[in-house]
Amino acid sequence: MKAFKIALLAGTLVMATGFAPDWTITVAKTDAGHLIGNPDATTKVAEYISYTCSHCADFARSGDPALKIGYVRTGKVSVEIRHLLRDPIDLTAAMLTHCGAADKFALNHAAIMLSQDKWLPVAASSTQAQRNRWSNPDRAAARRAIAADLDFYQLMEGRGYRTTDIDRCLADSAMETKLVQASRDDTVRLGLRGTPSFTINGKLLDNVHNWPALQQAIDAQLVARPADKP
């Protein structure tokens, strides 16, 4: 019903103004990810990413903008970003990107991913004392320690969040459970072996881990369905 209302609103906008909507600003929460674009797009891309993966950061720089501007904006393609969690840092970052309303996600995601070259070396050179804090059985306390040591608090405050907002999101045990379970389920269901990985309409793309290869797969899908309309 929600997807129908969004599509109906977009259609009304086109008829009233003569201009097609920019679908890159339409963001909706899914079970454990975020869908960007037309919910009724006939070509549905899913990204499976890890915030501690350098290749994912490369894709965020080169692939995400091209995908959104060239394909998602038109309404023919949507993209869902999902999380393949490799470690507690990944989970901490993912929980922060989910902090707040759905329309905050895209820039939260970009802020953390595009600053990876600053915080990942800090994580790699962490002290034993830091790693002990990150292993605290109180998982919310552990995530607060990770966020403090890697300057995630400063990053999110720059996005307009208060410290209390950040702490609340890091303590969201329901979100933790949802993200961890979805990561496990997606890995098993699709046989994911690395990041970034991609699906189109639910089918895993073999040996596709960068923007040129993904663009080729999307173009092939669009050519195969020339009658489809956004």
Pairing assessment for the beta strands 197-200 and 34-36 based on DSSP bridges: unpaired
Contact between residue 210 and residue 58 where contact means Cβ atoms under 8 Å apart = yes
For residue 113, the model assigns a pLDDT of: 98
Nearest to 196 by CA among 53, 85, 44: 53
The CATH label, of 3.40.605.10, 3.40.50.970, 3.60.10.10, 3.40.30.10, for the domain at 21-224 is 3.40.30.10
Pairing assessment for the beta strands 77-83 and 43-49 based on DSSP bridges: parallel
Q: Where are the domains of the chain?
A: 21-224
Between helix 105-114 and helix 54-67 the angle, nearest 10°, is 140
Which residues have C-beta within 8 Å of that of residue 37, sequence separation ≥ 6?
23, 24, 26, 68, 72, 75, 77, 78, 79
For residue 18, the model assigns a pLDDT of: 54
Q: 44 has which bridge partners? A: 78
Model pTM score: 0.88
Rounded to whole angstroms, how far apart are CA atoms 132 and 230? 51
State the DSSP H helix or E strand holding residue 48, giving kind and residue range, or none if neither.
strand 43-49
- pLDDT, tens digit only, all 230 positions of the chain: 444 444 444 444 444 445 678 999 999 999 999 999 999 999 999 999 999 999 999 999 999 999 999 999 999 999 999 999 999 999 999 999 999 999 999 999 999 999 999 999 999 999 999 999 999 999 999 999 999 999 999 999 999 999 999 999 999 999 999 999 999 999 999 999 999 999 999 999 999 999 999 999 999 999 987 544 44
